[in-house]
Structure formats: structure tokens, C-alpha cells
Amino acid sequence: MKRYVYINDDESSHELYCDNRISNRKYTVLNFLPKNLWEQFSRFMNQYFLLIACLQLWSLITPVNPASTWGPLIFIFAVSASKEAWDDYNRYLSDKKANEKLVWVVRQGIRKHIQAQDIHVGNIVWLRENDEVPCDLVLIGTSDPQGLCYVETSALDGETDLKTRLIPTACMGIDFELLHKIKGVIECPNPDKDIRRFDANLRLFPPFIDNDVCPLTIKNTILQSCYLRNTEWACGVAIYTGNETKLGMSRGIPEPKLTAMDAMIDKLTGAIFVFQIVVVMVLGIAGNVWKDTEARKQWYVLYPLEGPWYELLVIPLRFELLCSIMIPISIKVSLDLVKSLYAKFIDWDSEMIDYETGIPSHATNTAISEDLGQVEYIMTDKTGTLTENRMIFRRCCISGVFYGNESGDALKDTRLLSAVAGCSTDVVQFLTVMAICNTVIPIKSKTGAILYKAQSQDEDALVNAAAQLHMVYVNKNANTLEIRFNSSVIKYEVLETLEFTSDRKRMSVVVKDCQNGKIVLLSKGADEAILPYAYDGQQTRTFIEAVEQYAQLGLRTLCLAWRELTEDEYQEWSLMFKEASSTLIDREWRIAEVCTRLEHDFEVLGVTAIEDRLQDGVPETIETLRKAGINFWMLTGDKQNTAIQIALSCNFISPEPKGQLLLIDGKTEDEVCRSLERVLLTMRITSSEPKDVAFAVDGWALEIALKHYRKAFTELAILSRTAICCRVTPSQKAQLVELLKSCDYRTLAIGDGGNDVRMIQQADIGVGISGREGLQAARAADYSIGKFRFLKRLILVHGRYSYNRTAFLSQYSFYKSLVICFIQIFFSFISGVSGTSLFNSVSLMAYNVFYTSVPVLASVLDKDLSEGTVMQHPQILFYCQAGRLLNPSTFAGWFGRSLFHAIVVFVITIHAYAYEKSEMEELSMVALSGCIWLQAFVVALETNSFTIVQHLAIWGNLVAFYVINWIFSAIPASGMYTIMFRLCRQPSYWITMFLIVAAGMGPVLALKYFRYTYRPSKINTLQQAERMGGPILTLGNIEPQQRSIEKEVSPLSISQPKSRSPTPVYEPLLSDSPNSSRRSLGSRSSSSYSRNCKDN
Amino acid sequence: MSSNTPSSSAGGVGSADSAAPRRNSKRPKYSKFTQQELPACKPILTPRWVISAFMLVSIVFIPIGVVSLFASRDVVEIVDRYETACVPENFRNDKVSFIQSPSTNKSCTRRLTVPKRMKQPIYVYYQLDNFYQNHRRYVKSRSDSQLKDNSSWDDISSCKPEDDANGLPIVPCGLIAWSLFNDTYNFSLNNQQLVVNKRGISWKSDRDSKFGSDVFPRNFQNGSLIGGKSLDPTVRLSEQEDLIVWMRTAALPTFRKLYGKIERDLQPNEVIHVTLENNYNTYSFNGKKRLVLSTTSWLGGKNDFLGIAYLTVGGLCFFLALSFTVVYLVKPRRLGDPSYLSWNRNPGGH
């Protein structure tokens, strides 16, 4: 499973590996039609419609012109096919652009300008500054004498800082001219999508001196779609090309997600299908019986005595075709259309733009907006999601002395400043570690100021803080780095960097002081990764206390330590390290093992505390969403204490006595089991009390609980509204999401970093915060937002409206199809159960696709409650969560309404147009107009807010119906010639229409009014309150006051940026309402409210 | 609460403006549509609104119902059911053989008394019951192109089973034309012939553009089975008005078709003698045949349905409006009372 890349070998590798042609296309010109049709027909609905359309080609059974089904079917297929084609064409264009880009490649020893698609594995590619990398390369030369180059990897992982890449040691010092002729072999693994790993070896062929195997890591590569920066030129060997690059491999087609609503609609469609089959069977049998008894006597029908063998099937099949409109063909198109509009509304929403970065919200997945309104669990990351991920150095503890405890800012602590001025050894050592134990790159800007490019926010904070304390990290040249302390420059040579991994939880550097030649190991890391490794005599108690104290305040702690190494010890270890670095198998593990051999007997210097501020509006958002009945789980890799503190400060859990936090811990199975059962017991007891009970669990206990006590843990998960899981790994996050999903809860995962990607992809809805940790999470997510507080609007406004609108739209689509279908069924009873269609083909087609689709599409603008009301009463989301607006019983209501309306239209039509008026075309037109009139009023009655668009769509559609039919009536060739003109001249036609409307809508209106006034739902009450004005304003909720108290109590300063007004935009009337504070305590909701209702 | 929406939107715009000069063109453009903030009117079902709507409907509907009922009652209609009476006593047990036998005398005389003064034009209809002109097999069995245009006289594919006879296409083909009604009526008043105008009984649009003036009946009723009336092969189809009327198929199994018009007034108690040829076979399926003489009103013929329906709906609406008012007065309910919100009612937090 390895690939051998022969450098600069023009022949050998051509056939083995693909060229550098990128192709993201799904189709080619030739296979587009079959492949696309195949995909479309893999859906059940489409198969059904195709079957119906094919049956209609049999003229013996078709009640209407086949065009009435084929037309819409082809239209629908054409729409989705052309959408696919357009997308694919755009992908083709962008591929083509990338493929035809000219790059410099060495061919036969000469540099040539060729198209990017002609690069082969093994070619040497030359890049200039700011060039885009065309394929994955192993660096072999750069303009930098030390063999460094800088790349920007934002297209790959979203991280905007510059990363250094360096050439392998074997290529060090090869002359510029000789690079053209270099030969060698690279042994590397087969292509994969891991952009953080590359374990390979390089061996150069003679005449190049170094004949040893030289290890290659990801540090020696530059990957496709990165940009070369701050480096004049660089060249590298192509190792992975085309779609086999790391970027190409990581592209995948995400599984389409199905919303709960889609599932419900599918279920209802299935029910209608069964109903249809029953109707068809009954009518088919009735038809055959009628034929055999009555029709034989009807001499004018001239039934033959002996029919063909399929005769028994003819009438049932006719009815199948007649009833096929029960399942509306337009529903899928309508839903797709409105769903993409919901997504657009999210993209457009100016209240969800992060004004600091200018990033608007974006819905990547346009199909699942309704699910937002049905969320029951939110799994949130902590760092960068709840907090800003902007680290600020706040406090430190050096050799047992606490700095910054009084002022809250160590940089202003005079004691520390004087210690720095006095060159206290401890402090200087501490600052040195702060300044150089990292992977930060200082860059001198033109003005002379030093900018730090750091991969980790913590390192950035530490280096900046050190600089403020006069320990300035000035420059880094290859392996030497310079720091300036109080105007004296100290140089260090970096011997090794032991990188940070999440398993080791620490990083170290081995440096050599250039002045005195001492070799020092500098380390920083999590407390449990440093303090146990202190040398035997050191008292670590103060540090433990410091760590605990800082964690209590919700600060992130790091322990700094160092150790002097002897020359021999270093040399011995260095060999082992080199060997470990060049292994191909389990390299990471081997390196970690070697590292531990060095990282022991530390002299612990101190503890740093870094503050990560809460984002704006996090407590309000969590409070509001919890009132909406959504349960929050915090999944973080951080320490338990820090997590709990953050949870307290953002209303996640309530302090005693209102809330109770239960801990699940333990190192062994038994301990965890006992702890779990204890918590479960408490949970069961308190579940009836209005008390916020939460549990906290750490990664280790979670591992055991999930493995051995899954059932108990699941029960706990269902009982508990809040949970804090700390020290969890990305895969555990995903497991927890999976667990809740398996209990049939709608989950939403929100996170910002690469470690959240799995959880985001696993959840029903993934939300990514496009934050400082890059865009990885935002890319994988269904929705990306700029700040956590937008989640409130995303769920309560967009999710809720989407749910309501789709609920109406889908049920209405069935209703209108059922109305016309019931009329056809009734008509069959007065036409000898022979399957005659009352309506002509054109009308049927236009009814489904046009007349009834347009007005209902305007319902995407409908708002039952204003955004402000929803924000004040988030509990109303419960109607969406519990699926109150689309379920079998609401559907039954619509079903009954369609039956009633069909009876009204049919009975009135056949009685008003009896005897001499009973001409077929006229009667069918009267019935159709009756349906159209009723549709208009039904939509109008169900619309909550009329904008100009709705008026246009509803009444304009009614006018359009007449205009279209007048046009048809003016064409002599059409079957409807003159019909509509004749009807419109008859007073009896208009009188019949008014009668149908009054008789059809009267009972519906009366019933709705009665329920609205005497059995109002919460939505109705709020609607009334909202539109009558007045009382709703006094219904304050408690946030403004309570929040301010907590702000004072909270050890963290949740200070608001100046640009933002102190009151949230959504609740303009709340904060200055005088009554809000008075009534505030009363409106604290019972936490079990939504649960209880749901169980009923 | 209309004030709420503008105020929150104003906040949004304000902050947008303050941030605008700083950066970013990626931000979508603000418009009321994209922000879902189009000005909207949000009606709610207040008692006043609903009660007055029902009241209004009843106020409008009851007069219309009365007017319609009067219009329908003004129509004078003479209906005479003759299908049994026109069969001689000795054939009463086997009407089918009577009607199918070519030798029996089908003539029959009926006396109609005019109940009220009938103003011209008086329409003469025949009414058939239990006749399924809307049967699928029947309604499809016609060829519109053949009727319209002589050149497509052999376009008979849709006419099965009555498409050709003796190997030649039938014009007009199909079951509908084949089963053309063939009873005839002759009216006399005071021993004087009462002229029935049979011109202009069909739709003008049908004569002009559905039935061709160059199409003549051909090979019609020549098959082994004779259905209904035969057509004069020398008269163009556009002038065969009985056929044109018949071919406008009825949607209901009970229907009337226009036979002709009597263009003179009839006085009360005048007696009309009708000599009719009872040729059409409705006996095999127990169909009824009626002869109808009727005047017309602005609403059409005699049909009480609309009037009664309007009165019923109007009355019901009035009743609903009244009962809603009573309920509203007896048990008033404040709309939008926040105490109905269960999360406010819950004492939990105290």
C-alpha cells in the first residue's frame, strides 16, 4: 500500500498514477441523461408518477389526455435536471479554469510553462510568491537559504495564519541549478484525506551526496490549493495529483439529511396511497358490477358480450388513474422551491450578520430548515462557540506568588512589573518559556512592529503577554531565535520541537543558549501533563491550588516548566527521536513515547491563566432557547472546573439552591457504575420538582458509561435537561449525538473547530461558527453563523417560520388535490361508475400545477406571530418541536375539510346546473370554478399576515384563472370553445359561485372562530395579544434584571463591546418596560413544561 | 402590535448603517422582502368581525334567495311523462318488444293544459331519466374532426364500436350520434297546427365551428343494429340541429334537451294536443321520458334549488351570527389574555 514516486522520471509513473486533471463533475455530456434520470427515478414518488404516466398512454383506460400527467412530470424532471446540469456545468468551468492554469514544470531538465492538468506524479513544479499550489508537492527547494517557505492554508483548513514549511534535510543546500536534475525516490503512502499527516521517506540518487533515507512529514509538503507567501520561489515534487490530492480525497458528497417533516410527509403520502388503493378497489368492483348488471341494459353503450381477458382490470385501472391526482405531483417542486427560499432568507438576514467580521449567516444545506424549528437537544462546544476564542493573559502564579489576583490583570500588577524590572530569576525563566516555548513566527512589518503568527490562540496570548513584560520575541531565523529582554538580546538555537498533541497535552522545545551553550528543555502543558512529572523534591501544592483557583474563575490554565539537559543526555535522546521520526508505521505513537523519555523531572516554574471571554449574548441566548424547551449539552475538551464555571456564567446551569449539579466520575467500572446509579436516582426524584438538575461527566467516565452502562446512561440522558461533558474527544462528541439521535430526539450540534466536525456531521442539524479556529466546522455544517447568539434567531425565527410554512403548504397541497379527486369520485357515481373524468385534461393539469400552486407559494411570507413576540415567548416553539402543526390529526382535519368542500361543490353544482343546463363542459367548468373560489378563500383564511405579495397571489390567481379560461374559450379548436364566455354571462353562474363560497367557508370560519376564541391555542392567544396591543408588553421575561445581577456576581467580566447597544435588538420593548422587573420572578417557567405536554 | 415590527427593523437598519462604512461587500443588500419585513396586515378573528361577516352574508343572501325563488316560481312549466302512457295496454308487460318491433303503431296523443299564461318564447324540451350520456364508453365515442371537416371523414378511430358499417366509415360516427333521440312531437292548439321552430335550438358556436357545413351524413344507421334517428343525407351537418343538441352530452343522468321553440303566447286553460311518435327505446333500462314546455327567467328554467339554498345559507348565517352574539354577551372572553398562556399560569418560580 505504498507508492514510489521517482523524481523527475518522465516515463515510469505516467501510467501508474492519474494526471493532474481535476474533475468534480458528477456527469459527462454522454451519461448525463441516463444517470440523472436514474437518480431521479430512484425516489418512490417519481416511480409512482412514472407508472401513472405510462398507464395513461393506454387510451382505453385513460380518463384524460396523457399530456395532463406527462406535462407536469416532464416539467418537474426538466427543472431538477437542468438544476443539476447547471451546477455541473459550473463545476466544469471552475475545474477547467484550474486545469488550464499555466505552471512552471521541469521537463527533460528544462523548465517549461505547461497547463496544470499535464503535471504528472514525479514532476518538479516551480512556484513563485503568491502562486496557488496546483497539486500536492514535497518541497525540495526554496529561495530561503534555510530552506523555509511560508504557505497560507486557508482554502484547505480555513486557518488564516501563515504556516512554515521546510525542505527535507537531504535537499538542504542543493544548488539552484542542480534542482532541475535532481533524481530520487519518495516512498509515500497511498493517497488519503488526512491533511495533518504525511509519513514518507525520501532517498536521493547519486550524484547527490546524501544516500540516506530522509524522513518526510507534513511539514515538508505543500498541499494543493494553498498559496505560497513571503517566499520568492519554491519548488517541489508532485506526489499526489488530480483527484488524488489530499484536498481531492477529502471532498465527499455528504449524505442527504431527511427532516422530521419530510418523514412525516412521506408517511402521510403513504397513508393517502393506501386510501387511494382502497378507493380504487371499491370503485373498481362497483364499476364492474354496474357494468355487468346495468350497463348491459343500456343499449346505447353497446357493451360487447365477450370482452378481452383484461376486461376486469380496465375499470379499476381507470379509477387508479383518476385518483392518481390524490398524491399531488406539485408538492415536491413546491417544497423544494420554498425550502430554497427559506435558506435564502437565512442568507439574507441582516440581523444575523456578524458585524465584527462581516460574515453573513449561510445555509449550506437548503433542505432542512424546518428541522431547525423542531430541535430538542443542542450539543454545543465551549471554546470558540460559547466563548470568543480570543485569549487574553490575565493571571499567573510564579513560584507560589499569585500575580493579578487583585486587579484581575497580571500585566498591570505592579509586583510583577517590579519583579521583571528586578530581573528575578524565576520570573525571567517563566517569561522565557512564555516567549519561546511555542511555534509562533514573528514577522516584522514595515513599520517595525512585530506581528506574531500563531497557530494556537493560547500561544499568541502568551507571547504577546511576554512581550508586554519586556520579554520580546524578536526574530526567528531557521533554527535560531532571538529574544530581547530589557534591551539585551539573547539568542537560542532550537534543537528540537516536541509538538503538541491532544494525547500528550503538552509541548516542549529543546533549545541551546548561544551564550553559554546550555541545553534546556522548555515545556508547557495542561496541569496533569506537567505537575506529575515535576522532580521529586518540588512542592507542587501551590501550583495545584493555583490551577484550581483559576479554573474556578473559568480561566484556562497552562503550567510552564523547564529542565536543564546534559549534552550527553540530549545526544542520546536525539538519536532515538530521529529514528522515531522516520518510521512509517505508528510514527505519532513512537514519537510520543520518545518524548516522554525526555519530559520528566521538570522544574515547574508557574501557572498561567488565560481568559477566554464569553461571546455577546450567550447567556440570553441559552436562557431563551431553554425556555423554548430545548435541552443543552455542553461537550468540551476542557477541564471540568473551567467547563462548570463557564456553564454557570452563561446560564447553562443554575447555582444552588435553584439548580443542582451532579457529578459522575470514577476511574474504574465499579466507581462509574455506582456514581451513575446515584445520579440517576437523584434525577428520578427531582424530575418532578421545578429544579434545574444537571450532570457533569468527564471523558474517562463517559467512555466507561457508554461502553458498559449504555442503558442507564441513556435513561439519564433523557431525564436530564442539561449536561456538561468535559474532556471528551471528537469521537465521543459524535457518540453522544448518536446516542440522543437513537432516542428519537432532534439534535443540533454547534461548534467552531475541527474537533467538532464529526459531531456536526453526525447531528440532525450541524451549525458551524465561522470563528477563529478556521472554517473547518463551518464547511462541514449545514448552517454557518458568525456568533453563537444568532442561534436564537436561527431557531426561533427561521426554524419556526419554516416549520409553520411547510406544515401549511404540504397539508394544503394534499387538501387541494383531494378536493378535486373527491369530486371526480362523486361524479363517477352518477356516470355509471365508468371512470369518466368530469374535468378536461387542460383544467386538471392547470389546477394542480398552476391555479392552486401559486397562491400557496406566497405563504412563504406568512408570519403567524411577529419575530418580537416569538422572542419574548420562546415557549411557543413547543408547537413546532412537538410537531403540533403537521401530524396525522391535523392532516385528518384537512382531509375532512377536503371531503366537505368536495361535497359542497359537487352537490351545489349538480343541483344548480340540472336539467337543461346539465351540459358536460359547462358543468365541469362550474365545478372547477367553485374549487378555485374555495381555494382562494381557504388560503386567505389560513393566512395570518397579508402582505402585498399574498394579496396579489391569492386574488391575482383568481383573476388569472378567468383570464386563462377566457383565452381557452376563445380558441375554436379547444373543447372549451365559448364555454367560459357563456358562463360568465349567466347570472346563475355567479350566484352559484357565491353559494359555494358561503356554504363552503361558513362552517370553516365558524369553527375556526369558535376555537380561536373559546379554545385558543397558545399561538392564537399570542396572536390576539400581539394584535390587540397592550397586555403582552407587561409580560416581561426575567432576563434583563437577572442577567445584570449575574454580571456582577460573575467573576468574568462579560463586558459588551462599545459598538453594540446594551439592549438586544430583538427585545426593544422589554428592557424599558417598567413592569418587566416586577413580574419577572413569576414567569420563570417550569422546566418540565414541554416534556409534560409532549407526553400527553 | 404593528408598532413592534417597525421598531425592531429600525434597530436592525440602524446598526447596519453604523457598521456599513467599516467593511464588507459580502453583506446582502437590505430590502424589506429579504428581511421578511414587508408591511403586512394581520387580521384576527375578533367577535365583532366574525359576527358582522356572518350578518352581512345573511343580509345579502336572504334577499337574493327570495328573488331567485320568485324567478323560479315565475317560470311556467308543463311536464308530461309519457313513456308508459304511450305504450298500448296489451304491450304494457313487454314494452321492449313493442318499441323494438318495426310493425307496431308508435303514434300517441297527449293533452296538455296550460296552467298559467305562458309568454313566448316557450321552450320545448324532452327529458330523459336514467340515461347515462356521461358514461365513459359513450362520451368518448365521437370524432370531432370528422364532424368538422369533410376531408377527415374517415377519421373514425375514436368512434368504436360504432365506427363503420359494411366496411365503410359512418358519418357522423360513434355511439352518441348513433343513439340520436328520435321521438317526434306535433303540437296543435284548437285544431290548429302550433308551429314549433326547430331552428336556432343549438349553440351558434357549435353550428359555426364544430359541425362543418360541407359535411353530409353518409352510411348512417346502415348497420345491422339501428340505434336512433336517421339523418337526411342531403342536409349538411351544421343544419342538423337535433344532432348538434344531442351531441352536447349531458353531465347528469337526468337531463333535458331542447326540441324546439314555440313562438307565441299561450293563455291559461288552453289545451294543447300533442301527437307524438314514441320511437325511442328507454324501456330496456327503465328510463323515463318527459315532454316539457317551459318559459324562462333571468335565472334559467324552473329550479328552486338556488333560491332555497340561498335562504338556507342566509338563515344559518343569521342564526350563527345571533348565537355568536349571545355567547359573546353571556360569556365574554378577553382576547389575548396572557393568563391563558400556561407558562404564565404556572406558579413554579415563586
Q: What's residue A756's pLDDT?
A: 80
**Is pLDDT at B125 greater than 60 in this prediction?**
yes
Q: Does A304 touch chain B (CB under 8 A)?
A: yes
* Cβ neighbours of B40 (radius 10 Å): 20
Q: Alpha carbon A872 to chain centroid distance?
A: 26
Q: What's residue A1's pLDDT?
A: 65
Phi-psi region of B221 (alpha: psi -120 to 50; beta: other; left: phi over 0): left
Query: For residues B271 and B80, is the Cβ–Cβ distance under 8 A?
Result: no
Instruction: Evaluate the omega torsion of the peptide bond into residue B47 and state whether it is cis, within 30 degrees of 0.
Output: no
Of residues A997 and A400, the one with the higher pLDDT is A997
SS3 A987: helix
Confidence band of A674 (pLDDT split at 50, 70, 90): confident
* Residues of chain B numbered 106-165 and touching chain A (CB < 8 Å): 123, 125, 127, 131-139, 161-162
- In this complex, which of B39, B175, B309 lies closest to A995 when CB atoms are compared? B309
Q: Tell me the average pLDDT across A973-982.
A: 88
Is A459 labelled as part of a ligand binding site? yes
Confidence band of A779 (pLDDT split at 50, 70, 90): confident
Element (H, E) at A612: strand A603-614
* Residues of chain A numbered 836-855 and touching chain B (CB < 8 Å): 836, 838
| pLDDT, tens digit (0-9, with 9 covering 90-100), for B202-260 | 999 999 988 988 899 988 888 888 888 889 999 999 999 999 999 999 999 999 999 99
**Is pLDDT at A942 greater than 50 in this prediction?**
yes
Q: How far is B122 from chain A (nearest CA, A)?
A: 14
Hey, are the CB atoms on A914 and B303 less than 8 Å from each other? yes
Hey, are the CB atoms on A916 and B335 less than 8 Å from each other? no
Q: What's residue A727's pLDDT?
A: 80
DSSP A755: G
Confidence band of A424 (pLDDT split at 50, 70, 90): confident
Query: For residues A571 and A616, is the Cβ–Cβ distance under 8 A?
Result: no
Amino acid at the residue A72: P
Confidence band of A11 (pLDDT split at 50, 70, 90): low
Question: For residue A824, which residues of chain B lie inside 8 Å, CB to CB?
Answer: none
The C-alpha atoms of residue A659 and residue A1046 are separated, in whole angstroms, by 15
Phi, psi (deg, nearest 5) at residue A194: -80, 110
Instruction: Evaluate the omega torsion of the peptide bond into residue B88 and state whether it is cis, within 30 degrees of 0.
Output: no
The C-alpha atoms of residue A495 and residue A514 are separated, in whole angstroms, by 12
Q: Tell me the average pLDDT across A544-554.
A: 84
**Is pLDDT at A580 greater than 90 in this prediction?**
no
The C-alpha atoms of residue A695 and residue A385 are separated, in whole angstroms, by 21
Q: What's residue A956's pLDDT?
A: 93
- In this complex, which of B22, B316, B341 lies closest to A1018 when CB atoms are compared? B341
Q: Does A985 touch chain B (CB under 8 A)?
A: no
**Is pLDDT at B287 greater than 50 in this prediction?**
yes
Is A387 labelled as part of a ligand binding site? no
Name all contacts of A331-335 with Cβ < 8 Å and 24+ positions apart.
A331/A265, A331/A810, A331/A813, A331/A814, A332/A45, A332/A76, A333/A76, A333/A79, A333/A853, A334/A809, A334/A813, A334/A853, A334/A856, A334/A857, A335/A265, A335/A806, A335/A809, A335/A810
Element (H, E) at A693: strand A692-698
* Residues of chain B numbered 178-207 and touching chain A (CB < 8 Å): 178-179, 203, 205
Q: Does A866 touch chain B (CB under 8 A)?
A: yes
Hey, are the CB atoms on A867 and B8 less than 8 Å from each other? yes
Q: Does A1078 touch chain B (CB under 8 A)?
A: no
Contacts of residue A687, defined as CB under 8 A and 6 or more positions apart, other chains included, come to A693, A719, A1088
Element (H, E) at A394: strand A387-398
Q: What's residue A37's pLDDT?
A: 85
Q: What's residue A251's pLDDT?
A: 64
Confidence band of A690 (pLDDT split at 50, 70, 90): low
Q: Does B253 touch chain A (CB under 8 A)?
A: yes
Q: What's residue A283's pLDDT?
A: 94
- In this complex, which of A915, A945, A1032 lies closest to B256 when CB atoms are compared? A915
Question: For residue A304, which residues of chain B lie inside 8 Å, CB to CB?
Answer: 161
Torsion of CA A426, A427, A433, A435, to 10 degrees: -160
Burial label, A602 (beta-carbon count in 10 A; 0-12, 13-18, 19+): buried
pLDDT, mean over chain A = 82
Q: Tell me the average pLDDT across A298-315.
A: 84
Confidence band of B118 (pLDDT split at 50, 70, 90): very high
Q: Which of A282-291, A364-373, A826-835, A893-902 has the lowest mean pLDDT?
A: A364-373
Question: For residue B324, which residues of chain A lie inside 8 Å, CB to CB?
Answer: 1006, 1009
Q: Does A946 touch chain B (CB under 8 A)?
A: yes
* Nearest Cα residue to A373 out of A627, A620, A628, A626: A628
Model pTM score: 0.80
Q: What's residue A647's pLDDT?
A: 86
Hey, are the CB atoms on A868 and B1 less than 8 Å from each other? yes
* DSSP secondary structure letters along A66-96: THHHHHHHHHHHHHHHHHHHHHHHHHHHHHH
Question: For residue A58, which residues of chain B lie inside 8 Å, CB to CB?
Answer: none
**Is pLDDT at A1085 greater than 50 in this prediction?**
no
Q: Does A992 touch chain B (CB under 8 A)?
A: yes
Question: For residue B136, which residues of chain A lie inside 8 Å, CB to CB?
Answer: 63, 318, 831-832, 834-836
Of residues A477 and A283, the one with the higher pLDDT is A283
Q: Tell me the average pLDDT across A1039-1045.
A: 34
* Residues of chain A numbered 904-943 and touching chain B (CB < 8 Å): 908, 910-921, 923-924
How high is the ipTM of this complex? 0.91
SS3 B163: coil
Question: For residue A1076, which residues of chain B lie inside 8 Å, CB to CB?
Answer: none
**Which one of A362-366, A491-495, A956-960 scores highest in mean pLDDT?**
A956-960
Locate cell 357563456: which residue? A982
Query: For residues B91 and B231, is the Cβ–Cβ distance under 8 A?
Result: no
The C-alpha atoms of residue A736 and residue A637 are separated, in whole angstroms, by 14
The C-alpha atoms of residue A319 and residue A958 are separated, in whole angstroms, by 29
Amino acid at the residue A27: Y
Q: What's residue A1091's pLDDT?
A: 37
How close are the terminal C-alpha atoms of chain B, in Å? 30
A381 is catalytic: yes
Hey, are the CB atoms on B162 and A978 less than 8 Å from each other? no
Q: What's residue A888's pLDDT?
A: 93
Confidence band of A144 (pLDDT split at 50, 70, 90): confident
Q: Tell me the average pLDDT across B123-139.
A: 93
Locate cell 484536498: which residue? A247
- In this complex, which of B27, B313, B338 lies closest to A358 when CB atoms are compared? B27
**CA Rg, chain A, in Å?**
36
Confidence band of B21 (pLDDT split at 50, 70, 90): very low
Catalytic residue among A161, A381, A527, A864: A381
Which residue of A305, A347, A350 is the best one to mutate when testing the B interface, meaning the one whose CB has the most B CBs within 10 A? A350
* Residues of chain A numbered 316-335 and touching chain B (CB < 8 Å): 318
Q: Does B339 touch chain A (CB under 8 A)?
A: no
CA angle A755, A759, A760 (to 5 degrees): 100
Kind of pairing between the strands at A102-107 and A110-115:
antiparallel
Q: Tell me the average pLDDT across A737-765.
A: 86
Q: What's residue A78's pLDDT?
A: 85
Phi, psi (deg, nearest 5) at residue A668: -115, 170
| pLDDT, tens digit (0-9, with 9 covering 90-100), for B169-199 | 998 899 999 999 999 999 998 889 999 999 9
Confidence band of A1065 (pLDDT split at 50, 70, 90): very low
Q: How far is B95 from chain A (nearest CA, A)?
A: 14
**Is pLDDT at A575 greater than 50 in this prediction?**
yes
Confidence band of A211 (pLDDT split at 50, 70, 90): low
Is A623 labelled as part of a ligand binding site? no
Q: Return the beta strands (E) in B129-270 as ranges.
A: 164-165, 168-169, 184-189, 192-194, 196-197, 255-262
Q: Does B19 touch chain A (CB under 8 A)?
A: yes
Which cell is B315 given?
Answer: 338563515
Amino acid at the residue A265: I
* DSSP secondary structure letters along B247-262: HS-BSSSSEEEEEEEE
Is A484 labelled as part of a ligand binding site? no
* Cβ neighbours of A897 (radius 10 Å): 21
Q: What's residue A556's pLDDT?
A: 80
Q: What's residue A1074's pLDDT?
A: 33
Contacts of residue A338, defined as CB under 8 A and 6 or more positions apart, other chains included, come to A805, A806, A809, A857, A860
| pLDDT, tens digit (0-9, with 9 covering 90-100), for A605-621 | 899 988 888 888 888 99
| pLDDT, tens digit (0-9, with 9 covering 90-100), for A1002-1038 | 999 999 999 988 888 888 888 888 887 654 443 433 3
Phi, psi (deg, nearest 5) at residue A634: -105, 125
Contacts of residue A128, defined as CB under 8 A and 6 or more positions apart, other chains included, come to A228, A232, A233
Contacts of residue A28, defined as CB under 8 A and 6 or more positions apart, other chains included, come to none
Q: Return the beta strands (E) in chain B as ranges.
A: 77-81, 107-113, 122-128, 164-165, 168-169, 184-189, 192-194, 196-197, 255-262, 271-277, 289-294
Q: Does A350 touch chain B (CB under 8 A)?
A: yes
Confidence band of A250 (pLDDT split at 50, 70, 90): low
Contacts of residue B193, defined as CB under 8 A and 6 or more positions apart, other chains included, come to B186, B187
Percentage of the residues of chain B whose pLDDT score is greater than 90: 52
